[in-house]
Structure 1
């Protein structure tokens, strides 16, 4: 069994890996400049990291920025992510603030895809996923492990838990301390990608984990994150280099 999710004209399917470029501007001007620079390299997805955006909680300013960004993107998929400090992000919100922000994005249909962090309460996650699906928005449910790479069984259990919570795509990123950790991540994901009904994103972070970004198609990871300018996570690779290297490993 292999998962498949289509957003706009882009299909995320096991065996192929799409490229996402994060934008991390703090002002409207920076965000639009970064987006246009990224689009010149033809990514499949633009990830708007709204935890960097200074006016993220100001709805009027947010709408102005969103509409400019949407116009610039055309039919390129927009993934919106508020990454909390505990998950490696730039800002923090409690359950109530995080849920309120995401509900506003969902109710106003201000994205194509939404990244939801797994560490929030199960009730909050279920509610957000339900609301997103009601508005035609796909959800990536994500977990980040910065202290190390979990054992293989724990990785597979996490991915299955995300599927059971009705995510459209399950994402796990972990920091390796030795190359064996990278292999653990790749082996666990390869096994699960053949069994799960939804696609998987799996990343081994940092310098040790760069190989996981390049060989993503081999072990079933459907998105690899690349840079145009500054990186938003450790180990990201420039988009043109990643695309060239990754082509060798595509299985479809």
Structure 2
């Protein structure tokens, strides 16, 4: 499997890399949270721009990104507008969604952008092409907050993301029982061993799915999310505790 290099982080080798989200609403709140990350064990910061009160004002977004880059220095930044249909804070017109992601890539201030698979193939391909032209990596994602699809459906969605040239395919699903968690883990193992030629991210959400956020090195998920102040999805552990567990598993392996 090929790895992905983002600044000084190599994704797809060793223990899963830790992503910590920022979900503040104001410029001041977001920058204050970013400053608190200096002593936190993390690899990538995800800015959830859909939480930002001026998320559809590019000038405000760019100004905040400039300040965020200054504070985070060489830490990779993943910018994500999670739409309401996939668990985000708000809806967005598809033209604005494309423009936001393309402008972010062109700004040189972000290292990765997140694009939702079910935005449509043309939308995904447009953003990927524009981002890649700027040297920015793309996470293509899908989130199901209602259920866990069949294993074949999970694998097929990940393969579709890979076929669209996502740098990192990502899927997050909601379990109704522990068998659903096993379904997600089995789909991860199948994708990694039979189809993937690049890193993937998978997780089962909620408290039942916590094990999936810890077992990436065994099953094949290359990154995981930990919460510093506010979780961006159900089931995210405290980042310090998460790092301790990942280190223990990595040493044992």
Task: Quickly name the TM-score band, shorter chain normalised.
Answer: over 0.9
The SS at the match of 1:167 is coil
- Pick which of 80-89 and 11-20 moved more: 11-20
- Match status 1:168 vs 2:200: no
Regions of 4+ moved over 6 Å: none
Q: How does 1:90-105 map to 2 (within 5 A)?
A: 90-105=89-104
Contact 2:15–2:247 at 8 Å: present in 1 too?
no
Q: How does 1:176-195 map to 2 (within 5 A)?
A: 176-194=175-193, 195=195
Contact 2:56–2:96 at 8 Å: present in 1 too?
no
2:124 maps to what in 1? 125
Cα offset for 1:14? Answer: 4.7
1:41-65 CA-to-partner distances (Å, cap 9, x unmatched) read 0310000000001112222222221
Contact 1:22–1:226 at 8 Å: present in 2 too?
yes
CA distance in 1 between partners of 2:54 and 2:27 (Å): 9
2:137 maps to what in 1? 138
1:14-68 CA-to-partner distances (Å, cap 9, x unmatched) read 5530001000111111001111212320310000000001112222222221111
Cα offset for 1:146? Answer: 1.2
Contact 2:202–2:221 at 8 Å: present in 1 too?
yes
1:82-129 CA-to-partner distances (Å, cap 9, x unmatched) read 000011000111221211211221222231000100111111110100
Where structure 2 has 5 or more consecutive residues not aligned to the other structure, the ranges are none
- More helix, by proportion: 2
- Measured on the aligned residues, the alpha-carbon RMSD in Å equals 1.3
Contact 2:207–2:235 at 8 Å: present in 1 too?
yes
TM-score with structure 2 length normalisation?
A: 0.95
Where structure 1 has 5 or more consecutive residues not aligned to the other structure, the ranges are none
2:49 maps to what in 1? 50
Contact 2:41–2:243 at 8 Å: present in 1 too?
no
Contact 1:79–1:115 at 8 Å: present in 2 too?
yes
CA distance in 2 between partners of 1:32 and 1:70 (Å): 10
CA distance in 2 between partners of 1:20 and 1:171 (Å): 13
1:68 maps to what in 2? 67
Contact 1:15–1:220 at 8 Å: present in 2 too?
no
CA gap 1:81/1:189 in 2 versus in 1, 3 angstroms: same
Cα offset for 1:249? Answer: 2.4
2:23 maps to what in 1? 24
The number of residues matched between the two structures is: 251
Q: How does 1:104-123 map to 2 (within 5 A)?
A: 104-123=103-122
The SS at the match of 1:51 is helix
Contact 1:14–1:220 at 8 Å: present in 2 too?
no
- Pick which of 48-57 and 167-176 moved more: 48-57
